[in-house]
Every structure is written in C-alpha cells, then in structure tokens.
C-alpha cells in the first residue's frame, strides 16, 4: 500500500468514506466561490458562539438525484460567477456530484433557505 494511503487512513480513520467525499465536494465548491478554510472556520466558530444557536446533530439528509440516486449537492449562484446573465434570478443550484450524471435543478431560494426547507419535510 502506498505510504500516502496509509497516512490518510491513519489520520482520518474517524471519518467515513462518505464524509471524505462530502469534504471534497465542499472543498471544490469553496474553491469555486473563493472561500478559504480559515473563513469557514471563522464562520463555524461564530455560529457556535451565537446565542440561541442550534448546533445540529446529524447532518441533514440531502435529497437524492432523481436520475441516478446519488446524494445531491447544492451551491450558491451569484450573478458574476456565471458568464451568461442570470436573467431568471436563480439563487442556488442543486447538482449531482456523480461523474456520469448531469442532473441540475435551479432554485430561486438561497442555499440556506433550501437547506432549511429540507428539515420541514
Ligand atoms: Zn445523478
């Protein structure tokens, strides 16, 4: 086994493979939106420190892709991130992280509202 694999498996043993995949998706979305790990850390710390903050237990179940069944991911859309004009006023995009799947669903709600709506189901 290559040393790098062993290193990762030892250091990240507490995380499930799914969590690693989630992290990679998250990391990619963060890069695309120019958000650093330090900024995310600051955000999380602030949220935890916020009075009345509800620190969630288990992660919310993301909806599954209607095409292939993979768990969908969501990203925010800001006008300047897209080359073509965002004439429809889309605020977020559900997309399928599966390699061979091109499922996308646009929403006029921001990411936070989409996530909130999930828990009301
Ligand atoms: Zn899919």
DSSP-assigned states of every residue in 46-103? HHHHSTT----SSPPPPPBPTTT-PBPEEEE--GGGSSS--TT---EEEE--STT---
pLDDT (tens digit per residue) in 10-68: 888 888 888 889 999 999 999 999 999 999 999 888 887 877 666 665 556 789 999 99
- 3-state class of 106 per DSSP? strand
pLDDT of the residue at 105: 94
Percent of the chain clearing pLDDT 90 (strictly above): 39
CA of 74 to the centre of ligand 1 (A): 13
CA of 63 to the centre of ligand 1 (A): 11
Task: Assess contact for 32 and 75: CB atoms under 8 A.
Answer: yes
Percent of the chain clearing pLDDT 70 (strictly above): 83
Non-local (6+) Cβ contacts of 74 within 8 A are 62, 92, 93, 94, 95, 111, 114, 115
CA of 19 to the centre of ligand 1 (A): 18
CA of 24 to the centre of ligand 1 (A): 17
Query: Across the chain, what does the average pLDDT equal?
Result: 84
pLDDT of the residue at 120: 56
pLDDT of the residue at 8: 85
CA of 95 to the centre of ligand 1 (A): 8
């Amino acid at each position: 086994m290559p040393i790098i694999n062993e290193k990762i498996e030892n250091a990240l043993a507490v995380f499930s493979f799914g969590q690693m995949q989630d992290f990679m998706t998250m990391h990619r979305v963060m890069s695309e939106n120019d958000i650093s790990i330090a900024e995310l850390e600051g955000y999380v710390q602030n949220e935890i420190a916020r009075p009345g903050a509800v620190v969630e237990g288990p992660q919310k179940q993301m909806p599954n892709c209607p095409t292939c069944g993979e768990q969908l991911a969501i990203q925010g859309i800001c006008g300047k991130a897209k080359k073509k004009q965002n004439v429809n006023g889309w605020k977020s995009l559900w997309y399928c992280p599966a390699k061979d799947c091109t499922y996308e669903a646009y929403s006029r709600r921001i990411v936070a509202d989409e996530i909130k709506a999930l828990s009301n189901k």
